[in-house]
């Protein structure tokens, strides 16, 4: 597919619009989740087992800021998922150090998930639900694609879906925090929440794949580029 673009001198160029196949999208999604969620959680648990909770806090935070700096230094686009993780982790770590209580740190995810769920629900009343704002992390989204009715419905339903998942995560965290000692809590919570997130991700990818295929957005084709010569 090509799009005609007029430059200020009156010439017309043809812009390539590549529709990626499913495999690159899944790889990009897996990499985003790995950098923004899996690695910080693994670092936190390993440092907690080897040292103490304060070292774990710092290690996870250093990884996240390092990943953001690496993306900026290599001129890669900012990751919405990584930014959400950094903001949440920074707030939780600052609260833990300010209060001297790690209990508040572990309680914070439950509060954060509940707040995020409310934000997702509130965004449903806007023109761009939160999932629509994060979609560019996983697909080369254009204004034309984002404005399609089926794509807009997909964003709306996925935003509601993830709002419910966040409420489930919040409830699980509160229950485990009350029932388990710290080290066991971290291990069980990490695995449990990871399972919820992975199931949610699989459901999201499946729903998005069905819509994208019906809209013709997964064709691995790109048209030739042309730039008509001026007479």
Answer yes or no: do 110 and 80 share one domain: yes
Residue 50 · residue 99 · CB < 8 Å: no
Task: Output the six-digit token pair for 65.
Answer: 């800021």
Query: pLDDT tens across 18-46, in order?
Result: 566 667 767 766 777 777 777 887 777 78
Greater pLDDT, 10 or 99: 99
Answer yes or no: do 81 and 94 share one domain: yes
Answer yes or no: do 82 and 141 share one domain: yes
Answer yes or no: do 44 and 113 share one domain: yes
Answer yes or no: do 56 and 12 share one domain: no
Task: Output the six-digit token pair for 176.
Answer: 């485990």
- The chain-wide mean pLDDT, for the chain, equals 76
Number of domains forming the structure of the chain: 2
**pTM of the full predicted structure?**
0.61
Residue 2 has pLDDT above 70, yes or no: no
Residue 201 has pLDDT above 90, yes or no: no
Query: pLDDT tens across 113-159, in order?
Result: 888 889 899 999 988 888 888 777 677 777 888 888 999 999 999 99
Answer yes or no: do 40 and 10 share one domain: no
Q: According to the model, what pLDDT value does residue 167 have? A: 92
Domain span including residue 158: 23-214
Answer yes or no: do 208 and 128 share one domain: yes
What average pLDDT does range 203-228 have in this prediction?
69
């Amino acid at each position: 597919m090509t799009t005609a673009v007029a430059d200020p001198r009156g010439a017309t160029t043809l812009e390539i619009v590549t529709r990626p196949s499913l495999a690159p999208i899944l790889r990009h999604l897996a990499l985003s989740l790995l950098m923004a969620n899996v690695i910080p959680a693994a670092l936190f648990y390993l440092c907690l087992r080897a040292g103490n909770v304060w070292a774990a806090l710092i290690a996870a935070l250093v990884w996240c800021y390092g990943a953001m700096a690496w993306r900026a230094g290599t001129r890669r686009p900012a990751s919405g998922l990584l930014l959400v993780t950094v903001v949440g982790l920074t707030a939780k770590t600052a609260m833990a150090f300010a209060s001297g209580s790690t209990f508040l740190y572990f309680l914070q995810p439950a509060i954060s998930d509940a707040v995020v769920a409310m934000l997702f629900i509130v965004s449903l009343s806007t023109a761009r639900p939160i999932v629509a704002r994060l979609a560019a992390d996983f697909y080369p989204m254009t204004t034309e694609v984002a404005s399609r009715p089926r794509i807009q419905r997909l964003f709306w339903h996925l935003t509601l879906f993830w709002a419910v998942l966040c409420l489930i995560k919040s409830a699980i965290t509160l229950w485990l925090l009350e029932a388990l000692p710290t080290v066991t809590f971290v291990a069980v919570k990490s695995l449990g929440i990871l399972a919820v997130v992975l199931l949610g991700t699989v459901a999201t990818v499946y729903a998005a794949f069905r819509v994208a295929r019906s809209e013709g957005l997964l064709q691995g084709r790109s048209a030739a580029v042309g730039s008509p010569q001026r007479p």
